[in-house]
Amino acid sequence: MAWAVKPDGQSSLQSVKPLSMNAKNYLKAYSQKANKFLDLFFLKKKALAKKIDPDLGKILQVFLDSSKGGKRARGALTVLGYESSGGKNFEAILPVSCGIEMFHNFLLIHDDIIDKDRLRRGKPTVHTVYAKKRGEHYGNSKAIIIGDVGAFLAYELLLSSNFSKERTLEAVTKLNEFLLKTGYGQLLDIDYDFKKQISWEEILKVRTYKTAYYTIVMPLTVGAILAGAPKSVLSAIESYGVPVGIAFQLVDDILGVFGSTRKTGKSNLSDIRDGKKTFLYAKALELLGAPEKKFLKRWYGAGDVGEKQIREIKKIIVSSGALDYSQKLAEKLVMKGKRYVPKITMDKKYQKVLESLADFIVTRES
């Protein structure tokens, strides 16, 4: 990918050649630039923090490290939203897009505490890193505040943007609205994990708020606002992003049970062990006959579930048709979303990326 970084290091993602321009290439090119920017940003932040206390420098490094190895999809989508609406100032959108990535990391850190997840992107989660030192409560305490600090740094990256004050304020305000939606989704999600019976519609509600808006609509919208996009484009982004975002979550739920741990970097047992209320689970419950339904309810999320029962649950999810249904629905939603691409941008190059991105979501393995 010689086009990813020009010798002078100043190239934008716009230098991607049309033929190699697909979502995967776009993500990879962006990821390199974002990691480079974030390393520099945190170098400065660590230097300042170390003056207060050396420990703070180490903590900021833990925060940054925990964000690495991710796909940086939301950051890339911010740039994509910006460039597809005609934005040309890559140097200005890059810090904002990295701010969006830092928001994501902050939310994941809090999410991992709640879900008691020990692995993220193949590495120990932040609360696990600190729990090793002084137990669970200490680990959680540190991770709560490291998440908060990450959020403050993320806001800083957005608030200090080089765009006009009007657009900056509009973008941060809109972003903040999306974060509120995500928080609402997360609050519902916590409760849903305790419900024995959960409907497809309830899961759809949580996923729409917790994931669909936040993963696809939010970053594209923030980028588009900073490029000065009209309301019609923001509305087309929503029509594209919500179905594609739900498809993303459908695939996420599938990977959570049938994905390869090596590729996803997270356990494919934990959704079943923790009794995570996923699309797969709700659909299986809906489709199964009484004996299998009873088995699923007995073992899904049970404290004493073993590998044998997990294997059986996987089989049941397949035989119920829930896996097939989820896969087909994801494909259908992606098709639906793609119809709005021409309303987002007239630029054929970016239309291709947005379409390829939607396709990538249903074919991805991690």
Task: Tell me which residues touch a copy of itself (CB under 8 A).
Answer: 49, 52-53, 55-56, 59, 107, 110, 113-114, 116, 134, 137-138, 140-142, 144-146, 148-149, 151-153, 155-156, 159-160, 165-166, 168-169, 172-173, 176-177, 179-180, 183-184, 186-188, 190-191, 194, 205, 209
Minimum distance of a copy of itself from residue 106's CB (angstroms): 8
State how far the alpha carbon of 34 is from the alpha carbons of 90, 153, 245, 276, in Å: 11, 15, 22, 32
| Residue nearer to a copy of itself on the CB measure, 144 or 329 | 144
**φ, ψ for residue 302 (rounded to 5)?**
-75, 145
Minimum distance of a copy of itself from residue 194's CB (angstroms): 6
Q: Two tokens at 202? A: 């309830």
- Closest by Cα among 22, 32, 14 to 75: 32
| Residue nearer to a copy of itself on the CB measure, 19 or 52 | 52
Minimum distance of a copy of itself from residue 254's CB (angstroms): 25
| Residue nearer to a copy of itself on the CB measure, 205 or 336 | 205
| Residue nearer to a copy of itself on the CB measure, 207 or 338 | 207
Alpha helix stretches (DSSP H) within 135-229: 136-159, 165-192, 200-207, 218-226
- Closest by Cα among 251, 252, 262, 305 to 119: 262
Minimum distance of a copy of itself from residue 92's CB (angstroms): 15
- Residue 242 corresponds to which amino acid? V
- Closest by Cα among 206, 230, 231, 221 to 175: 221
Half-sphere exposure of 202 (CA within 13 A, CB side): 18
| Residue nearer to a copy of itself on the CB measure, 151 or 217 | 151
Please name the residues in contact with 86: beta carbons below 8 A apart, sequence gap of 6 or more: 227, 228, 347
Minimum distance of a copy of itself from residue 230's CB (angstroms): 20
Minimum distance of a copy of itself from residue 142's CB (angstroms): 6
| Residue nearer to a copy of itself on the CB measure, 192 or 295 | 192
